[in-house]
Amino acid sequence: MEIAIIAHDGKKAEMIQFLMNFKAHILSKDISIVSTGTTGTNAEKAGFIVKKYLSGPFGGDAQIASRVAEGVTDMVFFFRDPLGKHPHEPDIAMLMRLCDVHNVPLATNPATAELLIKSI
């Protein structure tokens, strides 16, 4: 199973805390993690093996969206900052739309991500 992790700057610490809370669960399953650049770097520092793509504003969100469309990514955890403005908003909207089109579970907050991670 492939899970994509993405977090806006204001949510990166929350993403890493989430991963740490479920580290044993993630490592005990056959789960590979892909990520946008900076989120992936933070996850690596926390001890996770991550396939990193570009930073979100430089096309990373689009790269993850492509994996969703290709049927490679099974689940997306995208901790968004709903109060911030993001120059790559069209890419974010595309990723969310493709998750809906391809019926890929998408969690935009830790509560939903917890329900998804516990389901596998």
Which of 9, 30, 61, 100 is labelled catalytic?
A: 61
Catalytic site includes residue 100: no
Q: Which of 9, 10, 68 has its CA nearest to residue 34?
A: 68
Q: Which residues are catalytic?
A: 61
